[in-house]
A and B are shown apart, each in its own frame.
Chain A
Amino acid sequence: MKDNPFSLWVYLSQSPLLWLTVTLLVYATTDAVSLATRRHPLANPVLHAMWIIGAFLLATGTSYTTYFAGAQFVHFLLGPATVALAVPLYENRDRVVSSIVPMLVALVAGSVTAVVSVVLLAELAGLPRDVVLSLAPKSVTAGVAMGIAESLHADPSLAAVAVILTGIMGAIIVTPLMNRTGVTDFRARGFAAGLAAHGIGTARAFQVDEIAGVFSGIAMSLNALVTSFLVPLVVTLLVR
């Protein structure tokens, strides 16, 4: 270490510890800023953590593979967090059971709209076929979308990026859009947020209203189910 001042950096930058620490500290900071702005939609903590960490990786010439070796411990928790959605669902079961019919109809309408609209728009924009396929599952949670993309021989990492971008845009748009449409029913608003923008939309919904969060979590898990079946079908029918 004494003969090369960079050897400490070389050592640390290859260790999972550094990148796990960076992920947690940057997120803690962007989340604190979000809280300080009283959860303003544009202060979305995921959006800002993403570009700050991304810029840091580019500036230090660190590969995403090296970064992910540390960040995977956080990424891994997406699975258990999906299982944990059972708890808000359980605690609000009476409210859920009483709105089962509107939920199921909205689920079908929303899932079909999510997949068909993105495929049609992407074809219209003249995007290459493999990009269109990777965008198709963009409204479901990252792990599920990556699985769907893989089964279509599309690009799973592009699918993950499309999912995160969709989630962030959904979380930013949902509150102003719903206020403009005059819908005050937080069950409906939350359900739409979770269906269109998965976990990031659900996190946003929980910030706004507890019931919205619960319905968002339900929409997110149901949509993961429906989209797994729907995407291959839509792709066969609509993609050239």
Chain B
Amino acid sequence: MLASLGLILLCQLIGEAVVRGLGLPLPGPVLGLLLLLILLLARDRFALLAQGPLRNDGVETASKGLLAHLSLLFVPAGVGVVQKLDLLASHGIAIVLVLALSVVVTLLATVLTFRLVSRLLRQQDAR
């Protein structure tokens, strides 16, 4: 468990270091995600890598434990709304409406594009 958490943190640390070092415009944890994915894929190919957290589902179990409580992790930032009460009093309704409308439009655009493209691909395969 500890070694698995350590491995996850190490991936993030390397991600942050590379992003800072190269001045990349992407978040460090996203690079860390890619790194962990590459490690897991490499382990299946090279038995030598199946050690410590990469053995017996170690890192898998730790990751699922973290993801099981993903919602909780947004609570501290969300409580920050108490700092913005004056802004919300003056523009709150407009802000909430703008965000809600944008979310609906985004959900629809994404899901319909996904369906349309996979349907087109299936028709192409059938031909």
Interface residues of A (CB under 8 A from B): 23-24, 26-27, 31, 45-46, 49-50, 53-54, 57-58, 64, 67-68, 71-72, 74-75, 77-91, 93, 99, 101-103, 105-106, 109-110, 113-114, 117-118, 121-122, 125-128, 131, 135, 138-139, 141-144, 147, 157-158, 160-170, 173-174, 177-178, 181, 183, 185, 187-189, 191-193, 195-197, 199-200, 202-203, 206, 217, 219, 221, 224-225, 228-229
Contact = CB atoms under 8 A, between A and B. Distances in A.
Contacts of B63: 83-88
A118 to B, nearest CB: 4
A144 B27 contact: yes
B81 A54 contact: yes
B6 to A, nearest CB: 10
Interface in B65-114: 66-67, 70-84, 87, 91, 94-114
Interface in B18-56: 25-30, 32-37, 40-41
Contacts of A58: 82
Nearest to A64: B83
Given A74-B72, A89-B37, A161-B77, 10 more contacts: A26-B75, A46-B78, A49-B78, A54-B79, A84-B62, A147-B27, A158-B87, A178-B107, A188-B110, A228-B27
Contacts of B87: 131, 158
Contact of A189 (B76, B82, B111): B111
B70 A202 contact: yes
Interface residues of B, number: 69
Nearest to A53: B79
Given A102-B118, A121-B102, A77 B108 contact: no
A142 B78 CA distance: 9
B99 A165 contact: yes
A128 B96 CA distance: 15
A101 B117 contact: yes
Interface of B: 5, 8-9, 11-12, 15, 25-30, 32-37, 40-41, 59-60, 62-64, 66-67, 70-84, 87, 91, 94-115, 117-118, 121
Nearest to A184: B115
A122 B112 CA distance: 24
B101 A67 contact: no
Contacts of B98: 118, 121-122, 125, 127, 135
